[in-house]
Amino acid sequence: MPDDHMPSGPFGQQPENPRENADADRQDVERSSASVEEHRGSAEAARNEAEQFRQLAEEAREVREQHREALEAVREERERLREVGEKVRIEGEGARAAAEAARDAAIAAVHATAESLEATLDGMRVMEEMRRTLRDIRGSHTPDSN
């Protein structure tokens, strides 16, 4: 029984038929080739997926950039509107001051007109008084016909 102690062949197995060994080796190679092809397919799928993620990330960056630009445009428009509003407010204050000055001038003109009319009326009263006085004087110098 010396054969029991001495393993022969790989992994301590008894030698098999060389044809069977060749068939087994061919099957191992085919399985290895199939495994390599599976790995190649998996690697290609992973590369494709990574490319899709890269494209999605690029699209997301572009969208973020567009949003940033839109927000900047909105900010600039708000600033422009604020400046326009400030100019309108200043112009409104100027218009209000001008209207107030015009109102004051109109009031002064009305007062001046009233004073002028009063002076004219006073002059007319004086004239009327003078006429009466003249009539009275004439009436006193003319002989009475009674």
pLDDT in tens, 51-110: 999 999 999 999 999 999 999 999 999 999 999 999 999 999 999 999 999 999 999 999
Residue 15: φ, ψ to 5°: -60, 140
- Is the predicted pLDDT of residue 123 greater than 60, yes or no? yes
At 45 the pLDDT is 87
Q: Is 16 helix (H, G, I), strand (E, B) or coil?
A: coil
Name the residue ranges covered by the structural domains of the chain.
17-137
- CA distances (Å), origin 116, targets 18, 77, 101, 108: 143, 57, 22, 12
Q: How confident is the model at residue 1 (pLDDT cuts 50, 70, 90)?
A: very low
Token reading at 43: 């690697």
- Scanning the chain, the segments in alpha helix (DSSP H) are 2-5, 18-141
Q: Quote the mean pLDDT of the chain.
A: 84
Question: Is there a contact between 39 and 45 (Cβ–Cβ < 8 Å)?
Answer: no
Q: Which residues contact 9 (CB under 8 A, 6 or more apart)?
A: 15, 16
Other Cβ atoms within 10 Å of 21 Cβ, number: 13
Q: What percent of the chain has pLDDT over 70?
A: 71
